[in-house]
Chain A
Amino acid sequence: NAGVMQNPRHLVRRRGQEARLRCSPMKGHSHVYWYRQLPEEGLKFMVYLQKENIIDESGMPKERFSAEFPKEGPSILRIQQVVRGDSAAYFCASSEGVANTEAFFGQGTRLTVV
């Protein structure tokens, strides 16, 4: 049973380009969460999605960031017109249900904006 799969593991983008980060949850998991980890900081919640629905996006910056979890395929975190401050590790987690307290994390995508 594969764990949470994120790709790419490393992504380099020039300022102004778009970054697309993908997350495939564990088999049987329909809840996906995105977190951002800045250097020397803990993980910060960004967005919580279920299939085809955004449940909580209270941690998402109001501009340039969007997320989706389509009926088929992985969840996508999209960052448009990236800036240097977007450089961070982005982690995806998935869980089986709402009441299940065990959220499993992927290995992360490390975004570097040059």
Chain B
Amino acid sequence: QKEVEQDPGPLSVPEGAIVSLNCTYSNSAFQYFMWYRQYSRKGPELLMYTYSSGNKEDGRFTAQVDKSSKYISLFIRDSQPSDSATYLCAMRSVTGGGNKLTFGTGTQLKVEL
């Protein structure tokens, strides 16, 4: 079993839709949770990070963490064609390893006109 599970998609939605992306994990030591966006043949770009449980909002993006269920989500409101990319969840524990991240496999999102 992988430490982080993420549905690879592809996920296709119409412009303006609300997008929900999710990851589950098995390692209870994970405390920091990140979402990265990766365009084709580019490096990952950090969108949001949260510490422990709770919600965090930044513009059209909302990240949610439910540690009791080991489940994290990223919501994108009013999705745009420019949001078409692969979205990677990533996690790390507090102790040791510095910024060593464990990634999901990524969900490919396509927002269509």
Contacts and interface: CB of A to CB of B under 8 A. Distances in A.
Nearest to B97: A56
Given A40-B8, A42-B106, A43-B88, A101 B97 contact: no
A56 B46 contact: no
Contact of B99 (A33, A43, A108): A33
Contact of B88 (A42, A48, A103, A108): A42
Q: Which 6 A-B pairs have the closest CB atoms?
A: A42-B103, A105-B43, A42-B105, A103-B99, A43-B103, A107-B43
A98 B98 contact: yes
Contacts of B60: none
A56 B44 contact: no
A107 B39 CA distance: 10
Contacts of A104: 46
Interface string B18-32: 000000000000001
Interface residues of B, number: 28
A101 B105 contact: no
Contacts of A106: 43
A1 interface: no
Contact of A95 (B4, B36, B96, B98): B98
A33 B100 contact: yes
